[in-house]
Amino acid sequence: MEHRERVRQQQFIDKMVANGYELFEPKSYEDIVTNFRIKLGQINGIEFTDNEFEQILNLYDQGTVFDRSFRLLRKNDIRLDNGEPYAIKLMESTKWCENYFQIAQEVVTNENGSDGKKARFDSVIFINGLPLVIMEFKQSIVGKNKGIEQIIDYQKSGKMHGLFLYCQLFVASSFSTTRYFANNNQISKEFIFPWTDENNQEISSLIDGDKCVYNTLLSRCFIAEMIVRYMIRKENDKVNVVLRPYQVYAVKNILRKVKENSGNGYIFHTTGSGKTITSFKTCKLLTESPEVDKVIFLVDRKDLDAQTKSEYDEFENGCYDDAKNAKQLRKNLLSNSNKIIVGTVQKMIDVIKGLNDEQKHQLLSKRVVIIIDECHRSQSDVTTNLLRSVFENNAQYFGFTGTPIFDDNARVDNLIYKTTKSIFDEELHRYSITDAVRDKNVLQFNISQPKIIENVNQLDVNRIHSISEHVLGNFDNYTDNRMFNTIFATQSKAQLKLYYAALKELNETLPKHEQIKFTCIFSRNADDVEEYVEKNSEDKFVSEVIEDYNNMLNTNIATNDIEAFKDNVYNEVRNKTIDLVLVVNMLLTGFDSPITKTLFVDKNLRYHTLLQAYSRVNRLYEKKLFGNVVCFVDQKEDRDLALELFSAGGISTDFEIEPYEELVTKFNNYLVYTHSLCKDGEQLREQLKEGNLTVLKESMEAIKKLQKQFSFIKVHPQFNSEDINITLREMNDLKDVYREVHAALTDPTNETNDEDAQLVMDFEIGEFIEDHVNLEYLLNLTQDKLYDQPKEQIKEQVRGYDIPLEVRESLLDAIDNYDQSQNKEIIVYLREALERNKQLKYDEYIAKYKVDNPSLFKELAYEQEIGNISHAQASVYIETKNNLSFIEKRRFKKSSFNFVQRISETYNIAI
């Protein structure tokens, strides 16, 4: 296997050389530094003396990956030996092909990581002598994931030093499947992408076929362009982000149209696909064009204006002019300050209406690019004509939308829209919901239609009461035990008020721990498309809602301050403080809240209004496997029409998960197969003892797949443990033993052959998902039951909790030993029991490994738990503790760090 991998690797090197890369064969880190000196001299047109190059190393060979990524694209001055200043550039940032490209293989780093070993990169692309792209290759029997894990390990163990910290991109490939991702300290699966062509078809093969990764993404000119143009350095988080392929093509096509001054266009990228980051990069690159004087980014609601500015600030503080009102927008528009202006369409219309002839003439002298977000609904005849009457032929217009207006959906809800094509002329790039679901950039929907009451009158009080009972009675099922929250879309203001009253009345009858936190949202601001509160007659209801909100969250918002209330609700929905928010139209378009999982719908939705509303719940979020849409009106026909229109030929199974009954059948069938390999955890232990890793691999692979299916089915709102042919306790036992076997294989004292053990891990551990429920919620639930249920009954329920074994056992012991005469709050008692158990785990570890200095070990563990020490910082931090023995330092770096990390993550929700 290793021989074949080397053969394929050599084929890759040969193809890269044939494509114009120079072969570089460094024998040491000193060779890399020397090569950097030569190539840097070539790109700058100068041969550096020893003294000058020492200045360069002192200047450039310092700082974090993020610091260096900024330095990569900027010129910095050094002082030449003759006393003259000289501006050094590391890359040619406009003529990408004029950089110097080299390819190398088996490149070894200069310093050891925390495990005492150096990194050996399978291949590295050097641009102007800097190692900017690092690649790991693994045979397909092991898979791309192993290459990804290898790269992450290099990072976490601190093996990247010196010039290697200039690396911008990683590429992991099994030769048949390839992924790329940015070099940062927050690598997660959501930001690891395949490369595609402009039609969103994956280019997976590294070197085989006419269209493959080595001659597309990794071609000389394009990889340099990718690093220069299609990465974002997020200043707030200090991380690098690389665009997905469809974002690259969208930006590239807009830049082309502007450079050619060849008319307008629109980007059709489905909701949830990251239009904000695409628009930011477009705006930012346009400001670097000498032909463009102003880039104006317009949204159609005040809340989206604030959301956009907030996200832009995360990318780069101060990158735009903030127009808080029409007067400020006019000033920014006419000034020569910051090239990017962000504001609402409504403010822009107000500005245009108030311009005098001199100001209009001044604008005509500027080359302007206007980018309009959610352009499917913000462009009317009036808006379009007003904008173009001022800018005439000196402006280009580009729209972003996830739901364009076609002929089919030009008439919706008694409104007539102009088609997107008639306004913006040309579709520049398409990325449909079919593409996004396939690429796992958005989630599928679980769509259900409960049979509540036959009456179709949406204002019928009995109907609203029944639906409200259903929502509250099944709320935990729809939110995975309050891990997520919900939006309820109502048909009208009148209906919203009825729902608010019904939910309020029913909620107050529930036990405290079952009550939900809910509110409704409305607006009276002219900057918004929806004006909820139009007359003083509504103020009584508004005051009631805000007063209820203040009492619920202990806030102090004035009952007539709609804007402050709205802003607070937006934040608390995103923070999951609010469990449910009632709306009419607001939040159903553009609002981004990944923590929201369920949309209740008692509203007639069609075409773009339907898909926009549904897409509030399909955003990616940790442990969120799909979005729920619960329809209290029949929308199947409208849903099929909408998904067909915006999916580019997709079918319902592309967007919807399988029916619950089919999921159950699939799970039970696979359970039979799993039991044929391994009937229970005890048999898995026996397979480990016997040392037959082939059999063990098959069993673990089956358990992993079974667990994935279970993870999916158990969060389905219809889940009933009696539907599956295994008890929750048996599933937990199987999972616990799986983790036990994993721990045995990764134990540094384990005598199992490392290569064989690693093979098992490649297949199983890398993709094995641990599922956690909200432990705080379970503690409160347990507390409530301890008052009125026998302990054995409570313990049996706790055994079914999907929580780590040590936490479950600790809770069971605590329940056994609890005595109300202890005069202590049960919830406090349970938390203290978990904390004691965590400390006991540390004591056991200290005793087992004969830790020389237990107090220092716990000090280091505490620093790690509270986030003061990352994996990469552990080595440096430990070295500062001079009273630790050499053995203790080494032990902590190699195994204790992982142990503490596991224990703290296991218990951190509870303490």
- The reported pLDDT for the residue numbered 756 is 47
- In the DSSP assignment, the letter for residue 534 is -
Residue 627 CB: number of other CB atoms within 10 A?
25
Q: What is the bridge-based pairing of β-strands 231-234 and 340-344?
A: unpaired
| Whole-angstrom distance, CA of residue 683 vs CA of residue 660 | 31
Q: What is the pLDDT of residue 46?
A: 92
**Phi first, then psi: what are they for 419, rounded to 5°?**
-65, 150
Distance CA 810, CA 256 (A): 62
Q: What are phi and psi of 521, to 5 degrees?
A: -130, 145
Give CA–CA dist 905/911, Å, rounded.
11
Q: Which of 95, 85, 171 is nearest to 133 (CA)?
A: 171
> What integer pLDDT is reported at residue 603 of this predicted model?
93
Q: Tell me what pLDDT residue 911 has.
A: 32
For the chain, residues with pLDDT lower than 70 are 1-3, 113-116, 139-144, 186, 301-324, 375-384, 412-415, 453-455, 523-538, 648-653, 746-788, 800, 802, 820-825, 866-877, 879, 882-895, 898, 901-902, 905, 908-911
Cβ(894)–Cβ(114) under 8 Å? yes
Handedness of CA 487, 707, 805, 800 (dihedral sign): positive
Query: Average pLDDT, whole number, for the chain?
Result: 82
Question: What's the pLDDT at 280?
Answer: 85
**Residue 841 confidence (pLDDT):** 83
Other beta carbons less than 10 A from residue 498's beta carbon:
19
Strands 202-203 and 231-234: unpaired
β-strand pairing of 120-127 with 130-137: antiparallel
Q: Would you say how long the chain is, in residues?
A: 911
> What is the DSSP-derived secondary structure letter of residue 162?
G
Is the CB of residue 604 less than 8 Å from the CB of residue 414? no
781: tokens are: 């639930």
Q: 3-state SS string over 320-357?
A: CEECCCHHHHHHHHHCCCCCEEEEEHHHHHHHHHCCCH
Other Cβ atoms less than 10 A from the Cβ of 84: the count is 8
According to the model, what pLDDT value does residue 2 have?
Answer: 56
Strand, coil or helix: what is 650?
coil
Q: What is the structure's pLDDT at 771?
A: 41
End-to-end, the C-alpha distance of the chain in Å comes to 47
